[in-house]
Structure 1
Amino acid sequence: MRRLLLLLLGLWEAQSRAPSRPNFVLIVADDLGIGDPGCYGNKTLRNAERPFLLVFSCIQVHTALYASKDFAGKSKHGAYGDAAEEMDWGVGQLLNVLEELQLTNNTLVYFTSDQGAHVEEVTPKGERHGGSNGIFKGGKGNNWEGGIRVPGLLRWPGVLPAGVEIAEPTSNMDVFPTVAKLAGSPLPEDRIIDGRDLMPLLRGETQRSEHEFLFHYCNFYLNAVRWHPPNSSSVWKAFLFTPNFAPEGANGCFPTHVCFCHGHFVTRHHPPLLFDLSRDPRERRPVTPGAEPRFWEILEAMQEAAERHARTVVPVPNQLSVGRILWKPWLQMCCSSSPGLSCQCPRGEQD
Structure 2
Amino acid sequence: MRPIPPIPLRHTRTMLSGLALLLAGTSALAGDIVGQVTGPDGKPLAGVRVQAPEALRSAVSAADGTFRLPDLPEGETPVIAGQLRLTTAVERVPVPASGEARIALQLQANGSIARAAALHAEPAPEHLAEKQAYLDSIQPVSGRVPNVLVILFDDLGYGDLSSYGNQLIRTPRIDALAQQGVKLEQFYSASPVCTPSRAALLTGRYPSRAHASNHVYFPTGSPMATIRRSMGWANALPQDEVLLPEVLARAGYATGAFGKWHLGDQPGHRPTDFGFRDYFGILYSNDMNPATLWRGNAVDTPADQTDQATLTERITDEAVAFLRAHAGGPFFAYVPYTAPHLPHHPNPKHSGVSEGGVYGDVIEDLDSNVGRLLDVLRELKVDDNTIIIVTSDNGGDYGGSAGDLRGRKGETWEGGQRVPAFVIWPGVTKPGTESREMAMNIDVFPSILAAAGIPLPPDRTIDGRDARGLLGGGETPHDFLYYLTTWSGQFDGIRDRRFKFHDIVPNVSPLGAGGDVPYNAVPSLYDLQRDNESHDLSARHPQDTARLRSQLESFRAAAASNPRGWREGNAAP
Q: 1:29 maps to what in 2?
A: 153
Deviation of 1:243 after TM superposition, in Å, equals: 7.6
1:215–1:306 CA contact under 8 A, matched in 2 = no
Give distance in 2, aligned partners of 1:239 and 1:59. Answer: 32
Q: Which runs of 5+ in 1 are unaligned?
A: 1-18, 120-129, 245-255, 317-351
Aligned partner of 1:152 among 412, 417, 421: 421
Q: Which runs of 5+ in 2 are unaligned?
A: 1-142, 170-322, 567-573
Q: 1:292 maps to what in 2?
A: 541
Give distance in 2, aligned partners of 1:20 and 1:174. Answer: 22
Report Cα offsets for 1:239-293 as digits up to 9, x if no partner: 234889xxxxxxxxxxx9x99554xx2359996222222232x11111233x224
Deviation of 1:40 after TM superposition, in Å, equals: 1.0
Deviation of 1:221 after TM superposition, in Å, equals: 2.9
Q: 1:115 maps to what in 2?
A: 394
1:239–1:269 CA contact under 8 A, matched in 2 = no
The 3-state SS of whatever aligns with 2:533 is coil
Report Cα offsets for 1:197-222 as digits up to 9, x if no partner: 11121123x32x12212221113432
Alignment of 1:80 onto 2:359? yes
Q: 2:466 maps to what in 1?
A: 197
Q: TM-score, normalised by structure 1?
A: 0.69
Q: 1:238 maps to what in 2?
A: 502
Amino acid at match of 2:150: L
Aligned partner of 1:266 among 498, 506, 517: 517
Report Cα offsets for 1:314-336 as digits up to 9, x if no partner: 299xxxxxxxxxxxxxxxxxxxx
2:405–2:414 CA contact under 8 A, matched in 1 = yes
Alignment of 1:226 onto 2:494? yes
The 3-state SS of whatever aligns with 1:84 is helix
Structure-2 change in CA distance of 1:63 and 1:112 (3 Å): same
Q: 2:552 maps to what in 1?
A: 302
Amino acid at match of 1:48: A
Aligned partner of 2:162 among 11, 17, 38: 38
Give distance in 2, aligned partners of 1:154 and 1:215. Answer: 22
The 3-state SS of whatever aligns with 1:137 is coil
Q: How many residues align structurally? A: 267
Amino acid at match of 1:224: D
Q: 1:214 maps to what in 2?
A: 481
Q: TM-score, normalised by structure 2?
A: 0.43
Structure-2 change in CA distance of 1:185 and 1:298 (3 Å): closer
Q: 2:263 maps to what in 1?
A: none
Give distance in 2, aligned partners of 1:259 and 1:162. Answer: 48
Aligned partner of 1:277 among 520, 523, 528: 528
Amino acid at match of 2:436: A
Give distance in 1, aligned partners of 2:425 and 2:330. Answer: 15
Structure-2 change in CA distance of 1:66 and 1:271 (3 Å): closer
Give distance in 1, aligned partners of 2:565 and 2:382. Answer: 42
Q: How does 1:33-112 map to 2 (within 5 A)?
A: 33-45=157-169, 46=323, 47-112=326-391
Give distance in 1, aligned partners of 2:429 and 2:413. Answer: 30
Q: 1:330 maps to what in 2?
A: none
Deviation of 1:174 after TM superposition, in Å, equals: 1.1
1:227–1:236 CA contact under 8 A, matched in 2 = yes
1:215–1:222 CA contact under 8 A, matched in 2 = no
Give distance in 2, aligned partners of 1:32 and 1:270. Answer: 28
The 3-state SS of whatever aligns with 2:553 is helix
Q: Which moved more, 1:306-315 or 1:142-151?
A: 306-315
How high is the sequence identity, in percent, across the aligned residues?
A: 35
2:397–2:409 CA contact under 8 A, matched in 1 = yes
Structure-2 change in CA distance of 1:270 and 1:135 (3 Å): closer
Amino acid at match of 2:455: P
Alignment of 1:170 onto 2:439? yes
Report Cα offsets for 1:88-147 as digits up to 9, x if no partner: 00100000011111111100101000011112xxxxxxxxxx211000111011111110
Report Cα offsets for 1:286-313 as digits up to 9, x if no partner: 1233x22414344234323332344342
The 3-state SS of whatever aligns with 2:503 is strand
Q: 2:455 maps to what in 1?
A: 186
Q: 1:124 maps to what in 2?
A: none
2:461–2:565 CA contact under 8 A, matched in 1 = no
Higher relative contact order (CA 8 A, sep 6+): 2
The 3-state SS of whatever aligns with 1:165 is strand
2:352–2:361 CA contact under 8 A, matched in 1 = yes
1:34–1:149 CA contact under 8 A, matched in 2 = yes
Give distance in 2, aligned partners of 1:29 and 1:213. Answer: 25
Give distance in 1, aligned partners of 2:481 and 2:521. Answer: 20
